[in-house]
Structure 1
Amino acid sequence: MTATIHPPDVEHDDGPQASTPVDQKRLSRSRFRPADIALVAATAGLAGLLPLGGPLKAILVITFVLLGPGAALATWVRVPRSARAAAIPTLGMAIVTIASITAMWSYRWEPTAILVLLCVASAGSSAVWYVRTGAWPDVRTWPVAAAHTCRAVITAPGLNPPTVIVAIALIIWAIALPTLPGTDASFYGLLASGSGRLLIPAILLTAIAFVWATVTRRLGAAVLAIGAAIVIARVTTWLGTEVPLYDWTYKHIGVVRYIVTHDLIQPNGTDIYAQWPAFFVTSAWFSEVTGLDPMTMAHVFAPFVHVVLAVIVYSAARVLGQTPRVALVAAFIAEVANWVGQDYFSPQAWTLLLAFGLLTLLLASRGAPQMAVLAIIPFAATVPTHQLTPFWLLGAATLLVFFRRIRPWWAVAAMIAIAGIYLVLNFDAVAPYGILSGGNPVENATSNITAAGVPAKEFTSLICRGLSAGVFATAAVAAIWAWRTGRRHVLTRVILAFSALCLLLGQSYGGEAIFRVYLYSLLGCSLLIAPAVVALLDGWRRGVLRSVGAVVATAGMCLASLAGLYSFVALWPLVSETRTQIDVMNSLVASSEPGTRIMMMTPGGMPSRTTADYAAFTLANPYFDYPLSYDLAESRFSFPTAEQLGFLDWRADQQEHPTIVAFSTQSERSIEYYGEYAPGSVDLFKEALSESPEWTLLYQNGDNAIFRHDAGTGPR
């Protein structure tokens, strides 16, 4: 069954002056109005307070967050239909973020009351609108309206070749999934290990199905393929693991647990998150109203991010006048080319959604200036959430204003004022990290990992760099093609794609700037590349030369999909944790006293900041969990010499509190992968601690081991 595309968007004003009550009643039988969405979402949010299971409560509350507040605003402010898919969830996430952090800062922290107040406000907005317009909802017509909403973009996928291929891809993924937890992955990552190899045909079939659906205009199947790409890449990080990926994820879990435990932001001096706490406070709010543990939230976070991301990219393309088919290609590219592991439970992932949604609002402001004013709301939410993202947004927005691509200009001026005031108020916290790290963009683009490492590291780096360079180069070529063929909004898309490169002129961001630049650029690059891909695919069977172009486009989509997935899961043996490791570290921290030093040769597998106790440890010793490599610096390549071991024992003996050294499988793999220490250094260090009478073995399970040195036990 072939998907049916409806006519282009026709702008409607949903405010009270938009039409007569008779017109509004007629519309209520054909589609949901923002007031209806806000009412249903508010009902879902209030239902989330019922004594239901945690997952069900979480679904109800997240439904409210994504639909309720944003739809309530869209009830009174005309939002172009093409922008609604991005505007409503973006505004909802921003309003909840602002409400949560405001309540915390004003010492009015009552999570349940915040939810009730937001739900009542959203439902009240709908009620007032119904009274003013006389267009009362007729719930009997809502099933018809729901069906109309589904048909507004595409019809159901139906049974067709692309749909069948997607189904086969998902079956292959499902076969691989049960044995993924605990996979002993090689240094070439998950795709080269065990059942993870099955993800290769799964993602390639998904890309083929998407291209086929695009060529044959089966947009329902194309949507299904985008969903499959998210499942194969990101649901795998949830269902294919015992606990969340990445050692650094647990630092964020610890912050949220502190807020949940104490109903306060962690004290100044613990970490920089105390000055940029909005994401953590919002997460704590969600955890408290749903009863969902922060670690469970972190585990399922990546799939949530990518579903919302795909919707926002699609909406941004529609705002720029692209067809639904081109918009879906843009969403697919943004998904499969996103190899940067920044979608974990983190402020940057949350602000990326807010940022892309904000830019979509700004893009819509040329025809609807009120969108730029609304964009101030998500910008205000990003400022206390993340240090870097607001300043990239300001750079891109300023360029768009300069070239008269958005209006009114004063909306961006208001954003500059908000960011400037917040930076001044928190300058002391950010100054030690450096406002500028140098004006050499080449050095700022250098990764923070410079060791040679194993051949697999070089291979993975080649794939990552090749994909990134390929995306930028393809976007540049697509921009030239769009300009020469007279396409619309070329300069706008170029600004979105390449403005983030300006960050490299002044900041390395701890060696991560190049990753952030690529991530920020994905929206613009996808919007540039998608029309060119569709144009090439439309040349299929229209002459030899044009057919070759279609083959090249198909091959490019498949290679980008495979390279993106490979790069995303390449570090699987280094970043995949186990529940046993987390439980052991939780017990260790709980049984230790603040001031204890907990170190590893290099981080990985045994995180120490998973609970609310981390704040007390940090206040007692800001460097309590810094790795041994921090102390050794360049001398780590000769470690462990007798002199170095003697110095370690002496310093541990001088401390007022114990010193703990932890070893893990992931840490040992990381050392070998990146070549941070000389070969055999881990075994030599373990042997030295085992033979020393000053060190006690507390725990051992395979490569995982924990040694303790009590203060004052060594020779004086």
Structure 2
Amino acid sequence: MTTSAQTDAANDTAPPPPETPDSVENQQVTYQLADAALVAALCGLLGLIPLPTPVRAVLVAAFVFVGPGAAITTWVHIPRRLLPAAVVTLSMSVTTIVAIGAMWSYRWSPTGILVVGTLAVAASSFYWYFRARSMPPVRSWPADVAARARVSLRSIGVDTSVVLLAVALILWVVALSIGLPGVDASFFGLLFSGAGALLIPAVVLVAVAFVIAIARRRVPVATAALLTLIIVERGTTWLGTEVPLYEWTYKHIAVVRYVLAHDLIQPNGTDIYAQWPAFFVTTAWFSDVTGLDPMTLAHVFAPVIHLLIAIIVYSAARTIGSSTRVAITAAFCVEMVNWVAQDYFSPQAWTLVIAYGLLTMLIASRHHRQAGILAIIPFAAIVPTHQLTPFWALAAAVGLVIFRQARPWWAVAAMIGIAGAYLALNFEAVAPYGILSGSNPVSNATSNVTAAGVPAKEITSLVCRALSAGVLLLAALSAVVGWKHKRPYVIACAIVAFSPLALLLGQSYGGEAIFRVYLYSLFGCGLLVAPHIVAALDGFGAGRRRALVAWGGALAVVAAALAGAYSYFALWPTVIETRAQVEAIDRITADAPPGTRIIMLYGAGLPARINDNYAPLTLANPYFDYPLSYELADTRGTFPTAEQLGWLEWKVGETDKPTIVAFTTQSRRVIEYYGEYRPGAPAEFEQIMRETPGWRTIYENPDTLVLEHDPKAAPR
């Protein structure tokens, strides 16, 4: 793709000679941003045709991630290396802003939004063609695409690294075919359980293939290794499971289903998502126009998010002047050490992608002012989407301006105004959660789980902490070396990498701040360490000393990839859901009357907030699905005592609405993993509830028991 300025200059050249069959492969069509925008608009319009749902979803997704951004950058000069990040970021941002704007203005019409959006993008392209006195080279596209594909395949070829990637994919497919373990997996996670163990050699082979490709300067193969890593790790969360992972994913699905069912945002007082609804409205729009069930969208969400992150990190590295090898290495590093698992169907995952793109544009604005002005658009999309991410992005943006790494300053001032105004309008909703939870960064960095638990928990925590500390330490050393050698953009990358630490000065974010800090820091850390990793791997065959450094770098990459994969899958038996459980709780809660209470010792396996009925249930009782672990607080270790059971009986007896008590294998495993209840407590409590009069079994399978209290049958 070229910019509009480059295209204007190209229009003065003579037309190329006619193509011949033998020369097609040696000639490449010059694509314009207007071409990309037009194709994306056509994809969006085709998504309205009653095609199979997956096909419609892919077509509309192409418009969502390319169309609006390509239309905007058609008219604004953006450096070519920034284009991938800018196009994706602006497209996602405009789609988000338009969707939430339509909902807020009571102009909600999903099909109408798509039609108007695609026509607007197409009109932009046609107007550009009119101004440039050109037309899209439609007749040349099929032959050119085929030729480019052949060239790409030949550039990959077959060598040791390609064979290693093929074997890694075969191992992954075999693991999926055998069947990955579920709730019966080891406390050491998926990698040490049944067929999941095949992922260990798969990840190692991918890392080794990547090292070989970088050392041999084979960028196409290194790119294939990056894609293979995403498939092996993030594809497993999709194709290796029946339904989406994590119980908390389903509360997001429930919000989307509410929007779909009522064409409205859930009422104020339901949850904090009512004040930060942009992600839910945007995904509801996507589900509506494509017919894709939100559950299916949530299931495939993680691989898509990681692919977008890889594109933006690569573009960011190219924007700061890195070679293609260094850029691919930066993307691979961010991917292989990203164990935080914040890639599930959620506002934070969506805004993380946009925030990475926003910061890429701000970094580019040092030499391209237009990029800084355009960065206001993604920031405006982030603000109504997530509570925390805008303030990290703002902290980084302010730092970039102060150190003269971004411009114009008034663009960041506009961001401050947007964030401040939105926070002021929604202050009552966020105040109960605490704007500041304390000024002690050590305390705020503490995890929200403090119990000792099983030995596997301690080992997993050690691996996670060692990997995180290693990444941050290596990034800090890389920043110092880069600053000492006066490398360009090192200050900007350091600001992006370490600005998230400022969050620990005032907020623990419910004990999750340390995880968010690491996740936010990965972007800048990848940009900082990638040049040094490539330099180390260049040492193979260059003398004993450099060869030792190269071997050390290679081993570090393999170890980091393995540690990242282990940490990412470590909680597998506690976060996996089964289709039977999801369908059962969906039926149970779909018609549950307001005032119903759902009780578990620890919430896992049965996501109570899964459909649009969660809203009236929450309005009647905001704590209707809170586990007993919240109310028992410091007395969990003695449960169930006679006093505690008497208190529970009183709680149940004070209402004439149904009360449900549920037991799941996941809940029992979480309790054992974290050690917050005494051994045997879940089984003892389950037996007591089975024998207590007034309770009846409404659902039971090997992993689940659901009991309901019948007020009429209960003794008085």
The answer to whether TM tops 0.5 is yes
Instruction: Report the alpha carbon displacement of residue 474 of structure 1 after superposing the two structures with TM.
Output: 0.9
8 Å CA contact 1:91–1:378 kept in 2: the answer is: yes
Q: Secondary structure at the match of 2:706?
A: strand
Residue of structure 2 equivalent to 1:590: 590
Q: Distance in 1 between matches of 2:656 and 2:665?
A: 30
Instruction: Report the alpha carbon displacement of residue 67 of structure 1 after superposing the two structures with TM.
Output: 1.1
Is residue 219 of structure 2 the alignment partner of residue 219 of structure 1?
A: yes
Residue of structure 1 equivalent to 2:85: 86
Is residue 48 of structure 2 the alignment partner of residue 58 of structure 1?
A: no
Q: Distance in 2 between matches of 1:25 and 1:450?
A: 70
Which residue type is aligned with residue 416 of structure 1?
I
Instruction: Report the alpha carbon displacement of residue 459 of structure 1 after superposing the two structures with TM.
Output: 0.6
Q: Secondary structure at the match of 2:605?
A: coil
The range that moved more, 37-46 or 360-369, is 360-369
8 Å CA contact 1:30–1:148 kept in 2: the answer is: no
Q: Distance in 1 between matches of 2:560 and 2:102?
A: 44
The range that moved more, 28-37 or 618-627, is 28-37
Q: Secondary structure at the match of 2:700?
A: strand
Q: 1:588 to 1:68 in 2, by over 3 A?
A: same
Is residue 290 of structure 2 the alignment partner of residue 290 of structure 1?
A: yes
Instruction: Report the alpha carbon displacement of residue 691 of structure 1 after superposing the two structures with TM.
Output: 1.2
Instruction: Report the alpha carbon displacement of residue 220 of structure 1 after superposing the two structures with TM.
Output: 0.8
Q: 1:631 to 1:491 in 2, by over 3 A?
A: same
Residue of structure 1 equivalent to 2:452: 452
Instruction: Report the alpha carbon displacement of residue 30 of structure 1 after superposing the two structures with TM.
Output: 3.1
The range that moved more, 155-164 or 215-224, is 155-164
Q: 1:23 to 1:429 in 2, by over 3 A?
A: farther
8 Å CA contact 1:655–1:712 kept in 2: the answer is: no
The range that moved more, 558-567 or 691-700, is 691-700
Is residue 100 of structure 2 the alignment partner of residue 110 of structure 1?
A: no
1:134-213 equivalent positions in 2, closer than 5 A: 134-143=133-142, 146=145, 156-183=155-182, 184-213=184-213
Residue of structure 1 equivalent to 2:118: 119
Instruction: Report the alpha carbon displacement of residue 16 of structure 1 after superposing the two structures with TM.
Output: 9.3
8 Å CA contact 2:44–2:63 kept in 1: the answer is: yes
Residue of structure 2 equivalent to 1:427: 427
Q: 1:148 to 1:76 in 2, by over 3 A?
A: farther
Residues 462-503 of structure 1: CA deviation (Å, up to 9, x unaligned):
111111001001111112222233322111111111110010
Q: Secondary structure at the match of 1:379?
A: helix
Residue of structure 1 equivalent to 2:11: 21
8 Å CA contact 2:696–2:707 kept in 1: the answer is: yes
Instruction: Report the alpha carbon displacement of residue 60 of structure 1 after superposing the two structures with TM.
Output: 0.3
1:478-493 equivalent positions in 2, closer than 5 A: 478-493=478-493
Instruction: Report the alpha carbon displacement of residue 625 of structure 1 after superposing the two structures with TM.
Output: 0.3
8 Å CA contact 1:166–1:205 kept in 2: the answer is: yes
Residue of structure 1 equivalent to 2:689: 689
Instruction: Report the alpha carbon displacement of residue 147 of structure 1 after superposing the two structures with TM.
Output: 6.6
Residue of structure 2 equivalent to 1:3: none
Instruction: Report the alpha carbon displacement of residue 316 of structure 1 after superposing the two structures with TM.
Output: 0.2
The range that moved more, 360-369 or 268-277, is 360-369
Q: Distance in 2 between matches of 1:128 and 1:244?
A: 43
Q: Distance in 2 between matches of 1:344 and 1:24?
A: 51
8 Å CA contact 1:32–1:149 kept in 2: the answer is: no
Instruction: Report the alpha carbon displacement of residue 376 of structure 1 after superposing the two structures with TM.
Output: 0.6
Is residue 502 of structure 2 the alignment partner of residue 523 of structure 1?
A: no
Residues 40-70 of structure 1: CA deviation (Å, up to 9, x unaligned):
1100110000010110000000011111111
Q: Distance in 2 between matches of 1:25 and 1:219?
A: 33
Instruction: Report the alpha carbon displacement of residue 627 of structure 1 after superposing the two structures with TM.
Output: 0.4
8 Å CA contact 2:3–2:74 kept in 1: the answer is: no
| Structure 1 stretches lacking a partner, 5+ long | 1-10
Q: Distance in 1 between matches of 2:137 and 2:52?
A: 31
8 Å CA contact 2:180–2:195 kept in 1: the answer is: no
Q: Distance in 2 between matches of 1:619 and 1:379?
A: 31
Q: Distance in 2 between matches of 1:591 and 1:35?
A: 50
Q: Distance in 1 between matches of 2:282 and 2:265?
A: 11
8 Å CA contact 1:660–1:709 kept in 2: the answer is: yes
Q: Distance in 2 between matches of 1:648 and 1:623?
A: 15
8 Å CA contact 2:318–2:327 kept in 1: the answer is: yes
Which residue type is aligned with residue 258 of structure 2?
Y
Q: Secondary structure at the match of 1:626?
A: coil
8 Å CA contact 1:16–1:76 kept in 2: the answer is: no
Is residue 363 of structure 2 the alignment partner of residue 363 of structure 1?
A: yes
Q: Distance in 1 between matches of 2:143 and 2:12?
A: 18
Is residue 519 of structure 2 the alignment partner of residue 553 of structure 1?
A: no
Residues 332-372 of structure 1: CA deviation (Å, up to 9, x unaligned):
00101000010000000000000001111111112210001
Residue of structure 1 equivalent to 2:651: 651
The range that moved more, 583-592 or 279-288, is 583-592
Q: Distance in 2 between matches of 1:66 and 1:528?
A: 27
Residue of structure 2 equivalent to 1:7: none
Q: Secondary structure at the match of 2:158?
A: coil
Residue of structure 2 equivalent to 1:35: 34
Residue of structure 2 equivalent to 1:384: 384
Q: 1:384 to 1:24 in 2, by over 3 A?
A: farther
Residue of structure 2 equivalent to 1:497: 497
Q: Secondary structure at the match of 1:19?
A: helix
Residues 560-594 of structure 1: CA deviation (Å, up to 9, x unaligned):
10000000000000001000000110111124211
CA RMSD of aligned residues (A): 1.8
The range that moved more, 595-604 or 174-183, is 174-183
Instruction: Report the alpha carbon displacement of residue 643 of structure 1 after superposing the two structures with TM.
Output: 1.5
The range that moved more, 158-167 or 670-679, is 158-167
Instruction: Report the alpha carbon displacement of residue 141 of structure 1 after superposing the two structures with TM.
Output: 2.3
Residue of structure 2 equivalent to 1:473: 473
Q: Distance in 2 between matches of 1:51 and 1:386?
A: 34
Instruction: Report the alpha carbon displacement of residue 654 of structure 1 after superposing the two structures with TM.
Output: 0.8
Q: Distance in 2 between matches of 1:683 and 1:163?
A: 51
Residue of structure 2 equivalent to 1:246: 246
Q: 1:318 to 1:83 in 2, by over 3 A?
A: same
Residues 262-314 of structure 1: CA deviation (Å, up to 9, x unaligned):
00000001100000000000000000000000000000000000111100000
Instruction: Report the alpha carbon displacement of residue 38 of structure 1 after superposing the two structures with TM.
Output: 0.5
Q: 1:373 to 1:24 in 2, by over 3 A?
A: farther
Residue of structure 1 equivalent to 2:436: 436
Q: Secondary structure at the match of 1:699?
A: strand
Which residue type is aligned with residue 68 of structure 2?
P
Instruction: Report the alpha carbon displacement of residue 164 of structure 1 after superposing the two structures with TM.
Output: 1.2
8 Å CA contact 1:44–1:64 kept in 2: the answer is: yes
Instruction: Report the alpha carbon displacement of residue 596 of structure 1 after superposing the two structures with TM.
Output: 0.5
Count of matched residue positions in the alignment of Structure 1 and Structure 2: 706
Q: 1:445 to 1:150 in 2, by over 3 A?
A: farther
The range that moved more, 580-589 or 13-22, is 13-22
8 Å CA contact 1:383–1:422 kept in 2: the answer is: yes
Instruction: Report the alpha carbon displacement of residue 20 of structure 1 after superposing the two structures with TM.
Output: 6.1
Give me the TM-score of the superposition, normalised by structure 1: 0.96
Q: Distance in 1 between matches of 2:164 and 2:98?
A: 45
Q: Distance in 2 between matches of 1:450 and 1:321?
A: 44
Q: Secondary structure at the match of 1:156?
A: helix
Instruction: Report the alpha carbon displacement of residue 149 of structure 1 after superposing the two structures with TM.
Output: 7.2
8 Å CA contact 1:32–1:146 kept in 2: the answer is: no
Which residue type is aligned with residue 593 of structure 2?
E
Which residue type is aligned with residue 557 of structure 1?
V
Q: Secondary structure at the match of 2:300?
A: helix
Residue of structure 1 equivalent to 2:403: 403
Q: Distance in 2 between matches of 1:24 and 1:148?
A: 23
Residue of structure 1 equivalent to 2:23: none
Q: Distance in 1 between matches of 2:703 and 2:185?
A: 15
Q: 1:24 to 1:31 in 2, by over 3 A?
A: farther
Q: Distance in 1 between matches of 2:428 and 2:289?
A: 34
Q: 1:16 to 1:310 in 2, by over 3 A?
A: closer
Q: 1:201 to 1:272 in 2, by over 3 A?
A: same
1:346-357 equivalent positions in 2, closer than 5 A: 346-357=346-357
Which residue type is aligned with residue 622 of structure 1?
P
Instruction: Report the alpha carbon displacement of residue 148 of structure 1 after superposing the two structures with TM.
Output: 8.2
Q: Distance in 1 between matches of 2:148 and 2:73?
A: 17
Residue of structure 2 equivalent to 1:6: none
The range that moved more, 251-260 or 691-700, is 691-700
Residue of structure 1 equivalent to 2:131: 132
8 Å CA contact 2:2–2:33 kept in 1: the answer is: no
